[in-house]
Chain A
Amino acid sequence: MALVELRSVVKRFGDHVVLKNVDLSVEKGEIIAIIGRSGSGKSTLLRCINGLESVQSGEVLVDGVAVHDPKSDLRNLRARVGFVFQSFNLFPHLTVERNITLGPTIVKGLDRAKAAVLAREALRRVGLEEKLNAYADQLSGGQQQRVAIARSLAMSPTIMLFDEITSALDPELVGEVLRVLENMAREGMTMLLVTHEMNFARRVANRVLFMNQGTIWEQGPAAEFFQSPKTDELKNFLGSVLN
């Protein structure tokens, strides 16, 4: 069974329909890049997967959990689905370590010592072990984003969602974050990334989705997708962003 399954998903904000009958299937280990103009619905799509947004109709099934069902217990699922935000959203009043151990201790009930071990390991994976006791405002944007990734990794997720995580970073800091993502991809993590980093998508993703006007306008294997776009809209989009 697919890890993530979206069937005929419709999402509305008031009168505005943001997602129009979206179907998507993601297998374990797949790396999917989602591109498109602002307003095309790509962030909303991602947020529907971990239940940050509700859907008006259709089904969202993640790792066996019916996310679209208001009665579902999403808490358990969110422990398995990591989400990294564009604006990092680190907790400013907590140290880096506490930011990372918060989830494992409170949601998974681990004791502090075990959680601390997890935190150190997660920080090692993103290359920031020495920042254990720092606070968010002492770190650069790239470092904060890597801590945010570590925070999600510490929960041992089966799937990671990334919502334009490099868009708010200064260009010279983007590289360090992308390197972390490449390592995760190599280790076999299932990843969905909404991104503007076309070169990264071409290099790392298995499949790329182009969202336009609330639907998946075109999708395909990475190489073919960027080399020979089939629809005019995708051709225009790639033309405008790749120059």
Chain B
Amino acid sequence: MIRELSWVDPLYLILALRWTVAITLLALAGGTSLGLVVAACGSSGNTAARLAARGYVGLVQGIPLLAWLFLFFFGFPIFGIDVPGWLAATVAFSVYSAGFLGEIWRGALISIPKTQWEASASMGLSYLEQLRHVIIPQAVRIATPPTVGFIVQLIKNTSLASVIGFVELTREGQMTAAATLAPLPVYLMVGALYFALCYPLTTYSRFLERRLHGAR
């Protein structure tokens, strides 16, 4: 049943944005938790932990996101775990994000000079206190621009959830394109909506980056 492209269609596309944002936030929650573990292991003194973290990052970054999505989507039922499609997708995105965030944060942690540890230790701070008051605040400043940059990537990556049938912005676009046989204007609109969501974040990331290096 073919229909004309009408003014309602952009509205439906904009509405679909909320699912894009939803997956992004869920994936961020999962990816952040796991990513912190990866970052901590990757910068720890324990060789086994470090190797495990490095292996994890290498594995995640060496396999396309589409493959991760399908592996979890088809993998869960096989191992007897019955989860709705969106949860499988979220887990896949989380695992994927952790592989990148963990690496970004590990880099930030190890870039804090040893002298900071030494100075704070000489003041009598315990390991956890050092982390909390001296190391992590500095690491967060360094890690924020690339993290914001990765969030932009994550938003774009959610478009792949459409491939396993999840109805977010891209999938909504596909359905609209199929219904109206006007794919080009539809996908241009979809692109514009992603742009509207991502561009402010990209600009913010660049602003943070400039401010970070200006201060040094």
CB atoms of A and B under 8 A apart anywhere in the complex? no
**Chain A residues within CB distance 8 Å of chain B:** none
**Chain B residues within CB distance 8 Å of chain A:** none
